Structure 1
């Protein structure tokens, strides 16, 4: 299409005018900048079938410019191989002598079309011998660094991914806290550091630089990773720019004269580290793998890392808290999650710059009194491993009120000191709170404290025992931002304030044993997407009324011993995708109205009565099979005492015939 452009004319305006009365097709490949999106919007919509097609790696741009979005899946098997051969061998078949190494290289792309194209283009310019291909494989990161299709390094937060091993999935929260501890996040007006870091991560995900491998029902990414090929690129650039050095058993002999401020050790711990001169310059130390080293050996090596600010020891084989850690007075971030330590020393008070302390899945049952002297603490996470009770909180002494910067505190015991629930009222910056072993007498104080936490988004409360009542009906104005709530313990009645939680997305009730009023209190919550009821409903009939639970995606009902019937009215739970029922021993009828759940994709009925499983089987094969034909996945199992049916049955649509 040729468009005449008079001298001095505005190209954009001229193009818009030219297309005004014409039927056109515009194709734009690789849109990346925001101003392109503005230009696309200016093209005329003349209602004559004209179309604009553009490709972009940025999901936010796609969403802003159009509602008609196609998200290509990762390529697998034959599709990935065809694309690889098209680029690497210019459409010809792969030579037999290159098949093995080519398959290895293709595996590293993880099905990502962008990576396959970039890798194939690179290989097409090299010699076609196995040795040349292996050379590319060995130095893949540095080779890909200069490739324009993978020239995607623009953020220190992105470079963080080079520290993690291949195929390593990282939780969103961990990445955010690491970005803050490393000093990559600048505070902005009206936003916390966590919110700013979260926005950075969203940009990486929306730009398809980071893969989301776990999302919740809101679509929020909970875990993510980078493609292995992209990781190679990150490692190469990171080492070139002296950002971080990844040490493995293969390159330990190369680390005598490093200038890197960050080190990530992958299954390669060695006592020789304590004699290296460069370690005194290191500010960040990551340890991965479960090597056989003792706490004593690691402590001796740690003595020379005097200026550490970030120490990541998740999953490390530590039996006790390394005493040398308390001498790292510049430390901001300490992760000891899933180690075997059982106590924190009193000298932890020396860590006056510590902001994050992660002690989850350890054996720590009590925090020292001196923890209250670590005044900069923002995130304090601790829970003890207990096979019988699951996650158990740690004891904390009075004085916790002085930690005014705390935004996350979970899980702590309430019954160690009856003043704890009241002291929490001083922690008005709190975002996430988890408290266990609450006694009835503490309920009023806890409610008064929670009302002062205007930014609270997540709350977990557990009673001291199953017979101890959670007395929580004392809040006139619950936190308006609360979106996750977990209550575990007996309730006399549904707290009145629950029906006012208009931001609540996920709710879990355990051991509540409520008869009536529960469903009525929850059914109109406008944002509720996940609901778990474990030994929470004590009634005989569970009815979901018309227009109730409009946003619910996931429902789990477990251990409702008196339940005889479940009824789903037309218009109830219109967006439900997954239904799980477990150990409801007296439920002998298939839930009535399953055909009303038109978006239901999965139904799991575990350890249920034999009568219910028989009826479901008859329904599946009888004339009313259409009531459940839309459910793609159906799994069932009988109670262990029943012998007629197998322990587990797969009645999914693909397995029915």
Structure 2
């Protein structure tokens, strides 16, 4: 929280800050733009008059200073340091004087030698994994958010050693050098207990054993993991898990959400999970689930068995599913599955057309000729949301 918020008994500084933001939103001083999976504020807008006042105060109090390659003077009062220019010429040793700052990187780059001196760094995003940065990560004990790219299998042991030292880490995003590169994450014996969001892109030989201990996890994302072991066994008892995303995350024919598991899950996204044929939802599983997205699961034979038990579900959306699959959901299809999803307020099937996603209500007649009902609704997604 960059020193603005003081910790209170029983609450982290982030929780205190969220309380302040909620208070401002309730008084209409800020406008909530996006929310996180857990309902907390992710981004917001401010009124023009408030923006002008904040900019004026920032200039008057030397709140922000932009440093480029021509800047040589030492700025003693600055709270946030933003460096513009070539990363190839960036020397972290120049910033030793500012090592106390809540330093913030938000762009991708190959990190230079000596990054470890930035011990008060809060966010380090989209950096490429190099032997130097992997070992120096452990010195950046204030890190809250880390996104690292091009991690190799042989980096696993040193990387896990460094991650184990980051006790304040809340968001960890790991990407391998390629889809088939194996992420070796089994050496992490003491994961950061504060971890809330975990994104892993790359092959996994098994689900990391330490995931079970992360009671604060809200969001888990497996991409291209191609797990042969059922990942649900490791995730089903996490008490705060709200969002689960599997993109090519599992290689198996069945996923079973067992009775009374995934108690807080609200969003489930299954994307290109093959050769998945069946999804089973047992009695009492996912009682708070609000949205299911199923994408490109071409082997899936029908909607999840037991979906009719989900009383809180609001949205069921299918992306690029076979026409035969969608046809079985229509109300006039003999022995179809319409009765399983009839209680869901919004059911869409979505296809990529002419550079945009088009989402049609299940019972709407469209050019594909899948269904029939007079009302029509189309939602368009820009190309940035394509898969």
Same fold (TM over 0.5): yes
Q: Which residue of 2 aligns with 1:401?
A: 116
Match of 1:330 in 2: 75
Per the TM alignment, residue 565 of structure 1 is displaced from its structure 2 partner at its CA by: 1.2
CA contact (8 A) 2:330 2:338 kept: no
Match runs of 1:107-256 below 5 Å = 185=4, 187=6, 197-226=17-46, 232=49, 234=50
Task: Find the counterpart in structure 1 of residue 275 from structure 2.
Answer: 562
2-side partners of 1:373 and 1:208: how far apart? 42
Q: What secondary structure, in the 3-state scheme, does the structure 1 residue paired with 2:20 have?
A: helix
Listed as ranges, the matches of 1:639-654 within 5 Å are: 648-651=359-362
Report SS of the residue matched to 2:297.
coil
Aligned residue runs from structure 1 range 220-619, under 5 A: 220-226=40-46, 232=49, 234=50, 282-283=59-60, 308-310=62-64, 326=71, 329-330=74-75, 353=78, 355-357=80-82, 366=87, 368-375=89-96, 376=98, 377-383=101-107, 393-414=108-129, 417-618=130-331
Deviations 1:573-626 (A, max 9, x none): 111101001111122322211101111100110101122111112478979644
Note the C-alpha offset of 1:323.
5.1
* Alpha-carbon contact 2:330-2:337 (below 8 Å) kept: no
* Contact 1:609–1:639 under 8 Å retained in 2: no
Q: Is the 8 A contact 1:365 1:395 kept in 2?
A: no
- CA distance in 2 between counterparts of 1:244 and 1:637 reads 43
Measured after TM superposition, the shift of residue 309 of structure 1 is: 3.6
Preserved contact between residue 610 and residue 638 of structure 1 (Cα < 8 Å): no
CA-to-partner distance for each residue in 1:472-502, whole Å, 9 max, x for gaps? 0112221111111111110001110011111
SS of 2:328's partner is: helix
Q: What SS does structure 1 have at the residue aligned with 2:106? A: strand
Change over 3 Å in CA distance of 1:356–1:612 after alignment to 2: farther
Instruction: Name structure 2 gaps, 5 residues minimum.
Output: 365-372, 376-387
CA displacement at 1:199 relative to structure 2: 4.5
Provide the rounded CA distance (Å) in 1 between the counterparts of 2:349 and 2:16: 45
8 Å contact kept, 2:65–2:82? no
- 8 Å CA contact 1:530, 1:553 repeated in 2: yes
1:522, 1:356 → 2: CA distance?
39
Is the CA contact 1:439–1:463 (under 8 Å) kept in the aligned structure 2?
A: yes
Give the equivalent residue in structure 2 for 1:33: none
Which of the pair is proportionally richer in helix? Answer: 1
Q: How far is the alpha carbon of 1:420 from its aligned partner?
A: 1.9
Q: Is 1:631 equivalent to 2:344 in the alignment?
A: yes
How far apart are 1:537 and its partner, in Å?
Answer: 1.2
Higher alpha-carbon Rg = 1
Q: Distance in 2 between matches of 1:358 and 1:546?
A: 52
In structure 2, the CA distance between the partners of 1:222 and 1:616, relative to structure 1 (3 Å rule), is same
Distance in 1 (alpha carbons) for counterparts of 2:32 and 2:313: 24
CA RMSD of aligned residues (A): 3.3
- Specify the alignment match of 1:48 in structure 2: none
> 1:212 & 1:624 partners in 2: Cα distance?
38
Aligned-pair CA distance for 1:368: 3.7
Q: Per-residue deviation at 1:539?
A: 0.8
The alpha-carbon distance between structure 1 residues 635 and 412, as it changes in their structure 2 partners (threshold 3 A), is same
Identify, as 1 or 2, the structure richer in strand: 2
Contact 1:554-1:578 within 8 A present in 2 as well: yes
In the TM superposition, what is the alpha-carbon distance from 1:419 to its structure 2 partner? 2.9
Distance change in 2, residues 1:261/1:656 (3 Å): same
Q: How far apart, in 2, do the equivalents of 1:598 and 1:374 lie? A: 55
